Structure 1
Amino acid sequence: MADLILHQYATSPFSEKIRLLMGAKGLDWQAVEIPPILPKPDVVALTGGYRRTPVLQVGADIYCDTALICEVIDRVAPAPAIYPAAQAASARLAAGWIDTALFTAAVTYLFQPAGVQSMLGHLTPAQIQAFSADRKAMRGDTNALRMPLPEAIALLHETFGRLEQQFNAGVAHVAGPELSVADFSLYHNVWFIKRASELASILDAYPALQAWYARMQAHGHGKVRVVTGADALAVAHRTDPAPQPRGVAAGSGFEAGDAVTVTPTDYARDPVAGVLVALDAHTVTLRRQDPRAGAVNVHFPRQGYQVQRAG
């Protein structure tokens, strides 16, 4: 198995989700610190345009979206399982809702005026302007990552209150009695809120939730070694993509070898173009060729991504 290389940055909540998972699995891994905003030339050389953070690289295979990254890491290191058989469906469903609806509420809550200083106070005015422009471009003309502030606060309180009751009733984890991917999704939302000292008091009313958070935080981040983007590109260039046994599902409307694009359906709608290698109900894989990265396979979850014929 090739080394796990996570392209991430320190303040990214979804990166923290994966860093904690690396710790829970007791993994050695490598980190490339990437810019939080465009341009990201090394990342784009690997992904073909996908700009969300983080991205997982395993040799010349590039995995986009933490929903898929979690599954890849679970295959590499099956213990502790994060898709326990009795909770596999509920864990995935809960994680999906937390990563979208709850995260949208958290972003709205944190980027109200009282929280902006905590979140962006380390940046210069010019950097804040660039960050705001980048995130506006990511949203495009959609309402992704935006909701009215009162509704965001209400959603956070309702969610945290229900979890508080569940934890107090003796259920140790988000999706049931066993650790699952849903715990890592909730964790990065709470971690994100805790970064904003002026607004973190919203958690004060939920001591059982905070005790759960402390137990999760104790997993740590595993053993990490920082490498450069050039190092990661060199790994991809000298490595062949792994064989893809799945192929393209019959009835999908596509065939292996079709020129296609894959585009997120919610925000950061930057299409990635390539040759279709595999497509089924769970994942889609494209083959790309890049002068710096060589031949790479770029993998996406099927859910949340649109596959179209190129052109």
Structure 2
Amino acid sequence: MSDLILHHYPVSPFAEKIRLILGHKQLAWKSVFIPMVMPKPDLTALTGGYRKTPVLQLGADVYCDTALICDVLEHIAPTPTIYPEAIKGAARIVAQWADSALFPSAMAYNFQPAGVAQVFAGASADTVQAFVADRTAMRGGAARMAAADATGTYKSYLRRLANMLHGQDYLFGAQPCVADFAAYHPLWFTQERTPALAGIFDATPEVKSWMARMKVIGHGSFSPCTAEEALRLAHSATPAALPGEVFQDEHDIALGTRVVIAADNFGQEPTEGELVAATRTRYTLRRTDDRAGNVHVHFPRVGFTLKKALA
């Protein structure tokens, strides 16, 4: 198996989700730090345009979006599972809620003035302005939730998590599953990056205890890796063989067609390539880059759009 390479940065909440799953599964991995804001030339040499954090690389295979990365890690290390059979559907639904509803409300709460002061302590005004402009662009012009609205929503969501945790250590029982890792990462940002605002957890002691249990899972065994080394590894590797199930057509777009894939809302930078697989759960594009060589870039179906590339 190729080395697991995670392209991320330390304060990324979604990266924390994957770092903890790597720790939970006791997988060894390599760490490539990427910029918080665009441009990200080393990352986009691999992805072809996708810029969100994190990205997982295995040789010449590049996996985008944490929902897909979770599936890949589960395939590599099925034990301990993050998808227990009896709750697999419910766990996935809660994880999707956490990523799409809990996360934006938590981050809107975190980025009120007291939180911003802690996140950017010691940073220059130019750094702050660049971050704000970058995230505004990622939202595609959509407004961010107001802090007062976010506070009320976040409190409601924390109470719901507390209800799920009543009488048990994790959201669905005695062991953590994908829902726990997805729900934890935005709360982790509040606790670790904006501690001035962490008093919001005081009303839900079950959540605070659960967060302590999640934190001690850790990140497993990892070593630093440079972006150039990761690109050389991709260039020297060959993409893994595609699974037998390679085509479920929902768009009347044949395999071999030049297509564009993009997220359906936040961070919509497109990736163009040749469609070589469209399974029940994912798309795969074949791309060639001067630095990365021939790579396969993989996306989940859910949360992404597929269109023919313009001629």
Distance in 2, matches of 1:166 and 1:35, equals: 36
Deviations 1:51-109 (A, max 9, x none): 10000000100000000001101111111100110111011110001011111101110
Q: CA deviation at 1:176?
A: 4.5
TM-score (norm 2): 0.96
Structure 2 unaligned regions, length at least 5: none
Structure 1 unaligned regions, length at least 5: none
Distance in 2, matches of 1:166 and 1:8, equals: 30
Q: CA deviation at 1:141?
A: 2.2
Q: CA deviation at 1:186?
A: 1.2
Deviations 1:158-195 (A, max 9, x none): 12112223323x13322445421010011111101112
Query: Is 1:255 aligned to 2:257, yes or no?
Result: no
Distance in 1, matches of 2:120 and 2:145, equals: 20
Q: CA deviation at 1:36?
A: 0.5
Distance in 2, matches of 1:99 and 1:171, equals: 22
Identity of aligned residues (%): 46
Equivalent position to 1:196, from 188, 194, 197: 194
Does the aligned pair in 1 maintain the 2:20–2:218 contact within 8 Å? Answer: yes
Give the aligned CA root-mean-square deviation in angstroms: 1.3
SS at match of 1:306: strand
Q: CA deviation at 1:301?
A: 0.6
Deviations 1:199-236 (A, max 9, x none): 11111122111111111111111011000000000110
Match of 1:103 in 2: 103
Distance in 2, matches of 1:250 and 1:196, equals: 45
Q: How does 1:58-97 map to 2 (within 5 A)?
A: 58-97=58-97
Q: How does 1:143-154 map to 2 (within 5 A)?
A: 143=143, 146-154=144-152
Distance in 2, matches of 1:147 and 1:64, equals: 26
TM-score (norm 1): 0.96
Equivalent position to 1:181, from 172, 178, 182: 178
Match of 2:7 in 1: 7
Deviations 1:105-141 (A, max 9, x none): 0111011112110112242111111111111111122
Query: Is 1:212 aligned to 2:223, yes or no?
Result: no
Does the aligned pair in 1 maintain the 2:164–2:172 contact within 8 Å? Answer: no
Q: CA deviation at 1:251?
A: 5.0
Match of 2:25 in 1: 25
Query: Is 1:172 aligned to 2:200, yes or no?
Result: no
Letter in 1 for 2:38: L
Equivalent residues, number: 308
